[in-house]
């Protein structure tokens, strides 16, 4: 099979398309023929080692000191079950599925094996394979931080980076919980975020959102656009700042009066993937696909993600469905 390999840290031109052995499913595993995958901010950071401030050494320890320990990047996929190992009864060849190996990566390839009891669910029928491939990375992060924020109906939420993979999921899922959402993004994305449920859209390039003179119950910073100290004045008493893309310092912010920061990695919960699939099937959540590139042009998706100007998910079409 073909797979994009990241055998050295650096620019996107370090990625190479190689032919490697197709994996064989073990007992309890399924093999999926991948139809679509994404290049996420996690893939960009692993490939380039451009980590949030203070995480450079941690990045090397986690992913490999001199080169990526797992050279095949990619945290999520959609595809069709191709083969099953012994003891698997929950999936069969021909099933359309969505998978989220997350930090284990390995999705920038034509095939991938996963345990049948891992974060693998049937593809919602109302999603295209491109949309389904975008279901998990942003959605699971948004679910996790909204859970920790403990939103009440009517809560006022400011979402920074509202058109990105995490931000667009945050807007939809916060609105579904009854929040009133204000979205901060480029003017070109305002129609999109309003269609997702934002009541107000602010142009990040024309307005300093720190100075808008309003306060919120929650500020969700999905892209590291600010920090807790600068956003404290935007928070009501008891307000929460969701530091979704925090640097090392941001992980350990003390309370400012009754206001607090919520940070840390989002765990990869199988239950969250299943919930997103249920919401998508019901029409209550739809991943945003900003671009679709063929498999042969995957490095271009890295360039787009590194620009920090992408909308939704950068999807890569691996094969025909």
Q: Are residues 127 and 233 in the same domain?
A: no
Cα dist from 191 to 45, 131, 164, 170, 204, whole Å: 29, 19, 14, 16, 14
Give the pLDDT confidence of 281-292 residue by residue, as tens digits.
999 999 999 999
Sequence-distant contacts of 184-189: CB under 8 A, at least 24 apart: 184/158, 184/159, 184/160, 184/209, 184/225, 185/161, 186/309, 189/162, 189/163, 189/311
Would you say residue 198 lies in a domain?
yes
- Work out the number of other CB atoms within 10 angstroms of the CB of residue 180: 17
Which residues lie across from 120 on neighbouring strands? 99
Q: Are residues 124 and 144 in the same domain?
A: no
**pTM for the full predicted model:** 0.94
Q: CA-CA distance, 194 to 200, in Å (whole number)? A: 7
Would you say residue 12 lies in a domain?
yes
Phi, psi for residue 289 in degrees, rounded to 5: -100, 115
Would you say residue 118 lies in a domain?
yes
What is the arithmetic mean of pLDDT over 264-268? 90
> What's the pLDDT score for residue 225?
93
CATH number for the domain including 210?
A: 3.40.50.720
Q: Are residues 119 and 34 in the same domain?
A: yes
Would you say residue 278 lies in a domain?
no
> What's the pLDDT score for residue 251?
84
Q: Tokens 């204000």, residue?
A: 182
- Work out the number of other CB atoms within 10 angstroms of the CB of residue 280: 23
Q: Are residues 40 and 91 in the same domain?
A: yes
> What's the pLDDT score for residue 255?
94
Q: Are residues 64 and 114 in the same domain?
A: yes
* Segment (H or E) for 182: strand 180-185
Would you say residue 224 lies in a domain?
yes
Tell me what the pLDDT averaged over the chain comes to.
Answer: 96
Give the pLDDT confidence of 5-46 residue by residue, as tens digits.
999 999 999 999 999 999 999 999 999 999 999 999 999 999
CATH number for the domain including 110?
A: 3.90.180.10
Q: Are residues 234 and 292 in the same domain?
A: no
> What's the pLDDT score for residue 176?
96
- Structural domain boundaries, residue 182: 137-262
Q: Taking a C-beta distance cutoff of 8 angstroms, is the pair 223, 162 a contact?
A: no
Least Cα distance to 282 among 205, 172, 129, 182 occurs for 172
Sequence-distant contacts of 189-195: CB under 8 A, at least 24 apart: 189/162, 189/163, 189/311, 192/163, 192/168, 192/288, 192/311, 193/162, 193/163, 193/168
pLDDT of residue 321 exceeding 80, the answer is no
Give the pLDDT confidence of 125-151 residue by residue, as tens digits.
999 999 999 999 999 999 999 999 999
Q: Taking a C-beta distance cutoff of 8 angstroms, is the pair 47, 8 a contact?
A: no
Q: Tokens 């142009």, residue?
A: 203
Q: Are residues 166 and 252 in the same domain?
A: yes
What's the domain count of the chain?
2
Give the pLDDT confidence of 60-103 residue by residue, as tens digits.
988 998 999 999 999 999 999 999 999 999 999 999 999 999 99
Q: Are residues 155 and 248 in the same domain?
A: yes
Q: CA-CA distance, 290 to 288, in Å (whole number)? A: 6
Give the pLDDT confidence of 199-230 residue by residue, as tens digits.
999 999 999 999 999 999 999 999 999 999 99
Three-state SS letters, 202-217: EECCCCCHHHCCCCEE
Where b means 16+ CB within 10 Å and e means fewer, 242-253 reads bbbbbeeebeeb
The more confident residue out of 108 and 249 is 108
Q: CA-CA distance, 216 to 212, in Å (whole number)? A: 11
Residue 87 CA, distance from chain mean position: 31
Q: Are residues 250 and 298 in the same domain?
A: no
Q: Are residues 16 and 80 in the same domain?
A: yes
Q: Are residues 192 and 244 in the same domain?
A: yes
Contacts of 251 (CB under 8 A, 6+ apart): 243, 263, 264
**Coil vs helix vs strand at 39:** strand
Would you say residue 272 lies in a domain?
no
Would you say residue 276 lies in a domain?
no
Q: Are residues 86 and 145 in the same domain?
A: no
Would you say residue 144 lies in a domain?
yes
Q: Taking a C-beta distance cutoff of 8 angstroms, is the pair 95, 80 a contact?
A: yes
């Amino acid at each position: 099979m073909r797979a994009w390999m990241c055998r050295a840290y650096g620019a996107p031109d370090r990625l190479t398309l190689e032919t490697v052995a197709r994996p064989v499913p073990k007992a309890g595993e399924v093999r999926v023929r991948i139809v679509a995958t994404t290049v996420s901010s996690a893939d960009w950071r692993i490939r380039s080692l451009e980590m949030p401030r203070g995480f450079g050494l941690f990045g090397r320890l986690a992913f490999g000191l001199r080169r990526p320990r797992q050279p095949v990047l990619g945290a999520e996929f959609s595809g069709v079950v191709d083969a099953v190992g012994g003891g698997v009864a929950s999936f069969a060849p021909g099933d359309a599925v969505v998978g989220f190996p997350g930090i284990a990566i390995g999705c920038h390839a034509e095939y991938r094996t996963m345990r049948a009891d891992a974060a693998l669910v049937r593809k919602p029928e109302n999603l295209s394979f491109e949309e389904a491939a975008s279901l998990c990375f942003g959605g699971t992060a948004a679910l996790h931080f909204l859970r920790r924020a403990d939103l009440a109906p009517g809560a006022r939420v400011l979402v920074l980076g509202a058109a990105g993979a995490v931000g667009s999921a945050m807007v939809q899922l916060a609105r579904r919980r009854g929040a009133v959402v204000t979205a901060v993004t480029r003017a070109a994305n305002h129609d999109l975020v309003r269609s997702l449920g934002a009541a107000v859209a602010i142009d990040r390039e024309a307005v300093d959102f720190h100075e808008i003179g309003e306060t919120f119950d929650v500020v969700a910073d999905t892209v590291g656009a600010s920090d807790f100290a600068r956003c404290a004045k935007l928070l009501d008493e008891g307000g929460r700042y969701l530091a979704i893309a925090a640097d090392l310092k941001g992980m350990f912010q003390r309370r400012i009066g009754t206001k607090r920061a919520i940070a840390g990695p989002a765990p990869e919960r199988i239950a969250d993937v299943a919930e997103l699939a249920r919401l998508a099937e019901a029409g209550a959540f739809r991943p945003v696909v900003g671009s679709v590139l063929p498999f042969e042009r995957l490095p271009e998706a890295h360039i787009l993600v590194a620009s920090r100007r992408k909308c939704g998910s950068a999807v890569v079409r691996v094969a025909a469905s």
